[in-house]
A and B are shown apart, each in its own frame.
Chain A
Amino acid sequence: MISSVNPAVKMVAIIIPGVLLSFSFDIFTPLTYLIFIVAFTFLFSSIPVKKWLLVFTPFVFLALGFAWMTTLYTSDSFSGGRVLFEFWWFEITTGGVMVGISLALRSLCFVALSLMFILTTDSTKFMLSLMQQFKLPPKLTYGILAGYRFLPTFKHEFEVLRQAHRIRGVGRAKGVKGRLRQFRRYAIPLMANAIRKAERVAIAMESKGFTGSHDRTHYHHMSVGKKDWVFFASIVGTFFLVVFTSYQLGYLNIFGRQF
């Protein structure tokens, strides 16, 4: 199961194809890999399909927008091929459309990879494993965890501020200057409060004997075993396999150069 894979290893395994995919400009490579990632997610995790789709679907629309824009603005080195149609000052070519679709698929790949990570990983264990496997300093690890803990409180505080402003008779902001002033009215109290909390939490942590030393015991012992390497090899290995196949079939396109 993906959820029991060491989070730090999982992160690295996902970043490698996440970065390398950016070099491909063809359709075959991201499409094949996307299918693999989605299949892998559902085969080896208990994420409900409905939940996954709920998060994934909005990104499909984002990706389409992305594809459309790229299609319009593709440079000459990519926009070869037949002119499909023209409007305004745009010239839509087959090459442009190809690159657009490729970029859209690529961004969906990123989303699918992200979801595979987010939906199967406990953020606390992720940080702990960065500390235990990658030797991230404990000070930084627990400092980040302490900050992350405040995430749910921000929404509530934002809501209270909105109400308080209404009581004071602050209306909706108009114009750029008004907007900027309004942004400030929210940002300053939110951040001022956050800063005070940071100070208090840090003191509370130190008063519980936290020194930031690496010499500490671990309640959650994070380890890297065979299963983690199998996961790593599957995700990264399959990526290279897809690239190789794409090359064999003559689809591979890196920076507009066909191989």
Chain B
Amino acid sequence: MQTIFSIAVDALAYGMVLFVISIGLSVTMGLMRVVNLAHGAFAMIGGYIASYAARDLGLGYGFAVLIAVFGTILIAIPVERLLYRRIYGAPELTQVLMTIGITFCIIGITNFVFGPTLKTIPLPAELQGSVDLGFRSIATQRLFAIVCGLAVALALWYLVERTSFGIKLRAAVDDAAMAAALGVKTEIVYAVSFAIAVGLAAFGGVVGAELLPVEPYYALRYMVTFLVVVSVGGAGSIPGALLACLLLGGIDTAGRYLMPEFGEFFFYLAVIAIVCIFPRGLAGRAK
């Protein structure tokens, strides 16, 4: 019984970290219809900025997170205006080629600027160490990641479903020409949602850094994981992504505990099964 609880707690923590990192990609792919393979690269930039702010400038963790999110958005805005704007609505292949190219450029630049070694983001005293749950202990940072995941999920759901910006965004996605004719400034809507997606990537990169350490090849190393989460959850669906993360986190964690020698067999088996039954993901919308 204790083992089951223990696995459940680990699965929840892992799933939420996955969620925080991947949800930005779900937004770009589902709402903006851009296959953004450079998502991990933006997460990595966030991690680097936070690491630089906290380690080299000695700023507090909260400040470092804020600087990381806004710094990454600042970097991303010119990239959006110059490069991404050209590929909205373009065929998937064009998008994939363009964004993988951006990824390689970012990898090269970070490798040159920050060097190939691992970078850590020092945690504040409150997030270090572990909390005793009674039947086991869990790292405080993991609890923090769980809370962040829930907060992000709620805030995004509210933004997309309950605000006028969300309505405009959904309108622009479904029929850009009609939305524009009705007075929605689609360019601005797209730019803002791109900024939100990038900011979420950076946030995820920082919060998830304990699990996925920041180094130049981050963007490529975890690209498959991010894409799997989005395709299983259904692109653009916040509850879908949340469900997918918890499900995949659970399967992965249980598999690793019970039969580590099978590696990621169960993880990918589950992915194949889900994608077979729900080709658009768990909560994907028909086109």
Report whether chain A binds chain B: no
